[in-house]
Amino acid sequence: MEQVTLKKLHPFHAASFAKLADNKKIWQNMRDNFPHPYSLTNAKEFIKCYHDATDAFVFGIFYQNQLAGAIGLHRLEDLNRFTVELGYWIGEPFWNKGIASRAIKKMIVYGFQNLDINRIFASTLETNIASQKVLLKNNFIFEGISRKSAYKDGAFYDEHRFSLLENEQ
């Protein structure tokens, strides 16, 4: 199995990041703060924003030493301060290679070992079956559906919620 590593993103990754991220198929499954088209400037701003963030832990996903996507854990606040949200995307040239699953495994270990958390959760749009399968493969529990709670590209979608507790990993 080919090696998947997680590394901090640096400004020199911006061109590769932008090239991978500038894909409508990826954008269709991301939050609205992930623009389309995705420019070099967007990539530079993203990397700068998250490089030294204290409430989000974002890494590049590398496959065979090539940038393949990004993954992050984002802290919640107040009553949910021991919970983080998992987000990730993989560039299309790297789809169907098991990269997302291996990156998520690494991020789970990182989160529970380093962040003083009890719960990791993730949401997917109803149409993102591949991501739902990857989460289940990594022992996330399907919690339920938020009906028509997400609005993307002119339509409402159900969001599927998944979570993993520290004692379930």
Give the model confidence (pLDDT) of 96-127 as tens digits: 999 999 999 999 999 999 999 999 999 999 99
In a domain, 144, yes or no: no
User: How many H helices and E strands in the chain?
Assistant: 5, 7
Q: Domain range for residue 77?
A: 4-120
The closest of 31, 39, 42 to 152, measured between CA atoms, is 31
Looking at residue 58, which CATH number applies to its domain? 3.40.630.30
**Full-model pTM:** 0.95
Q: What is the pLDDT of residues 29-42, one digit of tens each?
A: 999 999 999 999 99
Residue 164 exposed, middle or buried by CB count within 10 Å (0-12, 13-18, 19+):
buried
Domain tally, the chain: 1
In a domain, 23, yes or no: yes
